């Protein structure tokens, strides 16, 4: 049974901010301010005019839907190996984690040397090609966003990308089947993402909810928009000024749901600590210097439980 505390009421209609990527790309300062408000007040925003062709978006969703429709034996050809997060399976981060109402197919896309092609389906036949094209576009969008977040943090446009070391990109395709008892089980438990930014493509079925003002706000998918959320690394670099917001996925009695999460992530040997210009005075420094690989290993050891894992990066922990 999923615990539902007093702070879990669902707010019906609140609009998350919408950012125009084409305005960011041409240096529009107003849009950078909008981005800053979105990162500080929401941690989530939709992006439009991102340059991904509608056709590519449709093909990506279709290839993923076709993969999840395959017979189980076919999908299991890509099963995750023990201690490997690449392949088909379930999201289990710790042994006492309750199983969730969702299947996933995840793998590393960049850098190339991290690719395990055994986890990349060959059925449907267009899957690999479409994933390759989609991921290259998401990489471009991710870098543009990192560039603008750098500007917003009063740095050169290239700074955050450089702080990532070798920038990693992981794709996680999620399939949430129809669930007879959405009141009993979640598709994905409350968590924040450990990485820097996550770029999500979702179908038209509402399921994702984010924490906002003490309640859960459902995100209504905007056709062909991409949804972005700030992860823990940006929260740490910004000394908590940008918010890595808790989110969860609820299940649906009538329709299955598909989402495609692309995680932009620092290299495991990159160091993260609040940037000096984001710390107003030393007493207000919230995070310590950590190696991303250590942070990520701790994240994996914990069960998904809201933001408890972020304690690992906090100074009062010492």
Ligand X SMILES: O=C(O)CCC(=O)C(=O)O
Task: List contacts with ligand X (CB under 6 A).
Answer: 172, 174, 188, 193, 200, 202, 208, 247, 249, 259, 261
Whose Cβ is closer to Fe ion: residue 144's or residue 193's?
193
The whole-angstrom separation of Cα 298 and Cα 305 is: 13
The strand pairing partners of 21, in sequence order, are: none
Binds 202: which of Fe ion, ligand X, none (CB < 5-8 Å by kind) = ligand X
Q: Which is nearer to ligand X, 147 or 231 (CB)?
A: 231
Q: Which partner from the list ligand X, Fe ion, none does 208 bind, CB cut-off 5 to 8 Å by kind? A: ligand X
- Residue 148: which of ligand X, Fe ion, none does it interact with, CB under 5 to 8 A by kind? none
Nearer to ligand X, 215 or 218 (CB): 218
Indicate the residue among 238 and 252 with the shorter CB distance to ligand X.
Answer: 252
Nearer to ligand X by Cβ, of 108 and 259: the residue is 259
Query: 150 vs 198, which CB is nearer to ligand X?
Result: 198
The residue (of 239 and 244) whose beta carbon lies closer to ligand X is 244
Rounded to the nearest whole angstrom, what is the least distance from the CB of residue 191 to Fe ion in the complex? 6
Shortest distance, position 261 Cβ to Fe ion, whole Å = 6
Q: Rounded CA gap, 195 and 231, in Å?
A: 5
Looking at beta carbons only, is 197 or 272 nearer to Fe ion? 197
Rounded CA-CA distance 238/233 in Å is 8
Q: Rounded to whole angstroms, how far apart are CA atoms 84 and 168?
A: 16
Question: What are 147's two structure tokens?
Answer: 């560039």
By Cβ distance, which residue is nearest to ligand X? Answer: 259
Residue 53 Cβ vs Fe ion, minimum distance, rounded to whole Å = 26
Beta strands in the chain (DSSP E): 18-20, 44-48, 87-89, 103-110, 168-176, 186-191, 197-202, 208-212, 215-218, 226-230, 247-250, 257-265, 271-272, 290-291
Question: Nearest 5°: phi and psi at 85?
Answer: -95, 5
- Residue 182 Cβ, how far from Fe ion at the closest point, in Å? 19
Residue 172 binding partner per list ligand X, Fe ion, none, with a CB distance cut-off of 5 to 8 Å that depends on partner kind: ligand X
What residue 145 binds from Fe ion, ligand X, none (CB within 5 to 8 A, per partner kind)? Answer: none
Q: Is 193 in the site for Fe ion (CB under 5 A)?
A: yes
CB 281 → ligand X: shortest distance, Å?
34
Selection from Fe ion, ligand X, none that 155 binds (CB < 5 to 8 A by kind) is none
Q: Which two tokens stand for residue 90?
A: 């379930």
Distance CA 268, CA 84 (A): 16
3-class state of residue 171 by DSSP: strand
CB of 262 to Fe ion, least distance (A): 11
Q: Given its phi and psi angles, is residue 135 left (phi above 0), alpha (psi -120 to 50 degrees) or beta? A: alpha
Instruction: Tell me the pairing of strands 18-20 and 87-89.
Output: unpaired
Please state the closest distance from residue 299 (CB atom) to Fe ion, in A: 11
> What residue 192 binds from ligand X, Fe ion, none (CB within 5 to 8 A, per partner kind)?
none
User: Least distance from C-beta 33 to ligand X, angstroms?
Assistant: 27
Peptide bond into 111 cis (omega under 30): yes
DSSP state string for 203-224 = -SS--EEEEETTEEEE-PPPTT
Number of shown-chain residues binding Fe ion (CB under 5 A): 1
Distance CA(122)–CA(85), nearest Å, equals 19
Binding site for Fe ion (CB under 5 A): 193
């Amino acid at each position: 049974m999923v615990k539902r505390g007093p702070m879990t009421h669902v707010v019906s209609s609140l609009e998350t901010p919408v950012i125009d990527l084409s305005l960011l790309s041409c240096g529009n300062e107003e849009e950078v301010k909008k981005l800053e408000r979105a990162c500080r007040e929401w941690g989530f925003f939709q992006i439009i005019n991102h340059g991904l062709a509608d056709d590519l978006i449709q093909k990506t969703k279709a290839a993923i839907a076709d993969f999840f429709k395959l017979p189980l034996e076919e999908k299991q050809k890509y099963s995750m190996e023990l201690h490997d997060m690449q392949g088909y399976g379930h999201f289990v981060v710790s042994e006492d984690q309750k199983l969730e109402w969702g299947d996933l197919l995840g793998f590393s896309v960049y850098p190339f040397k991290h690719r395990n092609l055994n986890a990349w389906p060959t059925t449907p036949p267009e899957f690999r090609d479409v994933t390759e094209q989609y991921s290259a576009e998401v990489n471009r969008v991710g870098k543009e966003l990192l560039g603008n977040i750098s500007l917003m943090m009063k740095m050169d446009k290239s700074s955050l990308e450089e702080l990532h070391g070798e920038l990693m990109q992981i794709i996680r395709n999620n399939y949430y089947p129809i669930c007879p008892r959405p009141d009993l089980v979640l598709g994905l438990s409350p968590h924040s993402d450990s990485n820097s930014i996550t770029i999500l493509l979702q179908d038209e079925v509402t399921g994702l909810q984010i924490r906002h003002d003490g309640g859960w706000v459902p995100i209504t998918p905007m056709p062909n928009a991409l949804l972005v959320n700030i992860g823990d690394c940006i929260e740490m670099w910004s000394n908590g000024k940008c918010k890595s917001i808790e989110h969860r996925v609820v299940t649906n009695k009538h329709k299955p749901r598909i989402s495609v999460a692309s995680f932009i992530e620092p290299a495991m040997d990159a160091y993260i600590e609040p940037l000096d210009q984001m710390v107003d005075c030393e007493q207000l420094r919230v995070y310590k210097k950590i190696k991303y690989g250590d942070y990520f290993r701790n994240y994996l050891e914990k069960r998904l439980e809201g933001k408890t894992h972020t304690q690992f990066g906090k100074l009062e922990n010492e």
